[in-house]
Structure 1
Amino acid sequence: MSDATSLHRLLKIKAGAAKRLMKENRLYQKEEESLKQKLDKFIADGAENWDIKNTRNMMEESHRLVEDTAKRLGGATQDLREAIVASQKVLPSDDVELATANGILQEISI
């Protein structure tokens, strides 16, 4: 396997992992916001204590998942950055995999 082929494979793997973690993190953030609104509604409507407690527990779990995926996303982003830097030394600047990886890195940074 040539050096360019192994770099393409590395870029594809690192970019895929970062993109998946980005989506996962955003999903957990939306879930946490949704549960927060649900909790506020339960409190305002005077719902049963069990409903409030259960929703609060689910919201706290979502918050932990947001923090965990954010931490893993940070590591994956750093790995992707390093793979891009290593690839830029070998691959031409108009390489498709390199451009895709750069695009995903920019999308994560937004």
Structure 2
Amino acid sequence: MSEIAAIQKQLRIKSGVVRRYEKETLLYRNEVEALGKKLDKFIAEKAEDWDIKNTKRMIEESEKMIIDTKNRMDKATGELKDLVEQVKDRSELAGSEELGNAQQLIEGTA
């Protein structure tokens, strides 16, 4: 595998990781929102204490996962940014789809 092909592969992989963490963060945020509505419903209906406590615990766990996923996404974005900085001036990669996608992704998460 040539050096350029290896760099393009790394750009694809690291870009995919950042996109996956973005999706994961969004899923956890949606989960927190849905659980919040469920909790409000339980409170309004005066549901059992266990249901209310369990829903609160699930919200807390999801919020912790948002923080964890955000930290991992920041690290992955930093690694992608470092790689882009190293290779952006290489003429062989100028105009490549992988480099363009990586740069757009970095700008989108900044």
The alignment's TM-score, normalised by the length of structure 1, stands at 0.90
* 2:45 corresponding residue in structure 1: 45
- Determine what percentage of the aligned residue pairs are the same residue: 39
Q: What amino acid does structure 2 have at the position aligned with 1:94?
A: G
CA RMSD of aligned residues (A): 1.3
CA shift for structure 1 position 3 = 2.2
Equivalents in 2 of 1:18, 1:44: separation in Å? Answer: 39
Equivalents in 2 of 1:18, 1:2: separation in Å? Answer: 25
Q: In the alignment, is residue 82 of structure 1 matched against residue 82 of structure 2? A: yes
Paired residue secondary structure (1:89): coil
Question: 4+ residue runs of structure 1 moved beyond 4 angstroms?
Answer: none
CA shift for structure 1 position 107 = 3.2
Equivalents in 1 of 2:84, 2:72: separation in Å? Answer: 18
The alignment's TM-score, normalised by the length of structure 2, stands at 0.90
Equivalents in 2 of 1:30, 1:24: separation in Å? Answer: 10
* 1:5 corresponding residue in structure 2: 5
Gaps (5+ residues) in structure 2? none
The aligned length equals: 109
Q: In the alignment, is residue 100 of structure 1 matched against residue 72 of structure 2? A: no
